[in-house]
Amino acid sequence: MVGTEGEKAVDIRRLRVDTGYVAYDQGYGDTASCESAITYLDGDNGILRCRGYPIEQLAQHSNFIETAYLVIYGELPNAARRKDFGMLLRQNAAIETQMQRIFEGFPKDAPPMAMLSSIFASLAAYYPHLATNDFAKDLASFDMAAAMAISKVRTIGAMLYRYQSGLPYVFPKQDLPFCENFLHMMFSEPYKEYVAVPEVSRALNLLLLLHADHEQNCSTSTVRMVGSSAANLFTSISAGICALSGPLHGGANSAVVQMLQAIHDDGDDGSRFIQAAKSGNKSNRLMGFGHAVYKNFDPRAKIIGKACDDLLKKLGVNDPLLDIAKRLDETALKDDYFISRKLYPNVDFYSGIIMRALGIPVSLFTVVFAIGRTPGWIANWHEVASTPKGRIYRPRQIYIGPKRREYVQMAERP
Ligand code: CMC
């Protein structure tokens, strides 16, 4: 098989039937699990395109909601479509009073991603007419469910922050754009409304846009896998949120800042940490470095590294963690360990520093990543749901457990 951009693949769909063999590919690193028309990624050359548009162009000219529309519907919206989409997002921003009570059932110090995935999954319970677990019916109400997912994941994110901080909820405002509304719900006080300066809303837009979709990463493949059972959009995305929470995936952005903070508190210039990272021990990895598919550079990291510098300069913020990050970046890029293993900064290396400058607490970084990734999850769920004759995702395995043996009564067991 040959993809649009010339990627070559071997079609092994009849391998087991014809030969009795299965293909072994732990972690699916060399396996294409689907055909997809959403995102093109060439990890060797640092290329990322959404629906054909280079990420650099989207970052420069677009914003999060326009890119979300592009990712989901395949084309950039014209003015009328953009307006309708914006209207649907605004109409679906609020969390109903009954649903708000779910927040209070969680401990104040619950992991935010655990709260986000549970509360998000509950959308299937509150809006069962949009989540029937029947592809034909769920596709018929897709526009509404998609808008709800994008708008409410952001509101839930802000509300869980307020709840965990012991602050009263701030509800979405109809007249605010998407990112400004998130910041308003996060940071407004009873008699003092938070008004985002343009640099801040631009930085948040960029951050979310860069995360909008990223091909078959762990969480997106999870969404596809769950969706392939005909599970509805909300349930499938909730599974994606769980997958994103791990430190090797979306959890890396907070791990980076924790790592930079630990280096700072130790009074280390980063060299001790780099030395430890080279031990090969998984728990000492240089967080924000390396990528499963980018083996040259992560184009998102280039964009975000520069945006980070610009934002901090414009806001007049002097963050010692940025200096440490830059030192680590320079040192690692000259070190043979990192060069020979093709380990470069990934999108998470600088995104945490931007979020710090925006006032977002470290505990919420991965929640912000989830808000950004929701359009990609939606688009991938839609692709699965609308593929004619799509089959349930069900890989094989190589069994390496005990051979057949006979049941032993408890009294006779050693
Ligand atoms: N620091 C030190 N060594 C590393 C690192 C790192 N960050 N990443 C990989 N290595 C080493 C690894 O020990 C192995 O060495 P050796 O060949 O001697 O055994 C080699 O590089 C290849 O590692 P791998 O685990 O086979 O690489 P992978 O492509 O399977 O893993 C990764 C990709 C992202 C999980 C990994 O690089 C990592 O753990 N990075 C840190 C976590 C991180 O920043 N994750 C965010 C990813 S980007 C956001 C997203 O899309 O989720």
Give me Rg for the CA atoms of the chain: 22
| DSSP H/E element including 202 | helix 198-210
pLDDT score of 322 more than 90: no
Structural tokens at position 224: 């596809």
Distance CA 269, CA 202 (A): 31
In the reported structure, the alpha carbon of residue 228 is separated from the centroid of ligand 1 by a whole-number distance in angstroms of: 29
In this prediction, residues 79-88 reach a mean pLDDT of: 98
Higher pLDDT pick, 296 / 233: 233
Confidence of residue 270 (pLDDT cuts 50, 70, 90): confident
* C-beta of 285 in contact with ligand 1 (< 6 A): yes
Q: Say yes or no to pLDDT of 36 above 90.
A: yes
Contact 249, 235 (CB under 8 A): no
* Known catalytic membership, residue 61: no
Q: How far is the CA of 331 from the centre of ligand 1 (A)?
A: 17
Task: Dump pLDDT digits (tens) for 178-189.
Answer: 999 999 999 999
Token pair of 352, please? 């945490």
Q: Is 252 in the pocket of ligand 1 (CB under 6 A)?
A: yes
- Nearest residue to 367 (alpha-carbon basis) of 352, 357, 353, 382: 352
Residue 271: pLDDT over 90: no
Question: CA–CA separation, 165 vs 159, rounded Å?
Answer: 10
| E-state strands within 202-349 | none
For residue 388, what pLDDT is reported? 85
- The position carrying tokens 């002097």 is 318
Cα 291 to averaged position of ligand 1 atoms, centre (Å): 6
Nearest CA to ligand 1 atom 16: 280
Statement: residue 23 has pLDDT above 90? yes
Residue-wise pLDDT for 190-224, tens only, equals 889 999 999 999 999 999 999 999 999 999 999 99
260: tokens are 């930079």
What is the CA 317 to chain-centroid distance, rounded? 27
* CB 293 near ligand 1, within 6 Å: no
Domain parsing of the chain, residue ranges = 50-245+366-378, 252-358
Round to whole Å and give the CA distance between 325 and 259. 10
Please state the CATH superfamily assignment of the domain spanning residues 50-245+366-378 in this structure. Answer: Citrate Synthase, domain 1 (1.10.580.10)
Q: Which tokens is 362 given?
A: 């470290």
Instruction: Provide the β-strand partners of residue 47.
Output: 42
For the residues 18-23, what does the mean pLDDT come to? 97
246 CB neighbour count, 10 Å cutoff: 14
Average pLDDT over residues 392-406: 97
Catalytic residue among 214, 329, 348, 382: 348
**Confidence bin at 4 (pLDDT 50/70/90):** very high
93-133 confidence digits (pLDDT tens): 999 999 999 999 999 999 999 999 999 999 999 999 999 99
Question: Choosing from 184, 291, 298, 329, which is the catalytic residue?
Answer: 291
Q: What is the pLDDT of residue 191?
A: 87
The mean pLDDT value for 278-288 works out to 87
Looking at the chain, the whole-number percentage of residues with pLDDT higher than 90 is: 85
Q: Which two tokens stand for residue 318?
A: 């002097």
Whether 336 has a pLDDT exceeding 90, the answer reads yes
Which pLDDT value is given to residue 307?
92
- Per-residue confidence (pLDDT) for residue 17, from 0 to 100: 96
Helix axes 218-227, 365-386, angle to 10 degrees: 40
Mean pLDDT of the chain: 95
Report pLDDT digits (tens) over 152-197: 999 999 999 999 999 999 999 999 999 999 999 999 998 899 999 9
CATH of domain 252-358: 1.10.230.10
pLDDT greater than 90 at residue 282: no
Q: Is the pLDDT of residue 53 over 90?
A: yes
Q: What is the pLDDT of residue 190?
A: 85
Q: What is the pLDDT of residue 319?
A: 87
Indicate the pLDDT class of residue 289, thresholds 50, 70 and 90: very high
Write down the pTM of the prediction.
0.94
Q: Is 348 a catalytic residue?
A: yes
Q: What's the rounded Cα separation, in Å, for the pair 260 and 325?
A: 7
Q: How far is the CA of 390 from the centre of ligand 1 (A)?
A: 32
Distance CA 359, CA 346 (A): 22
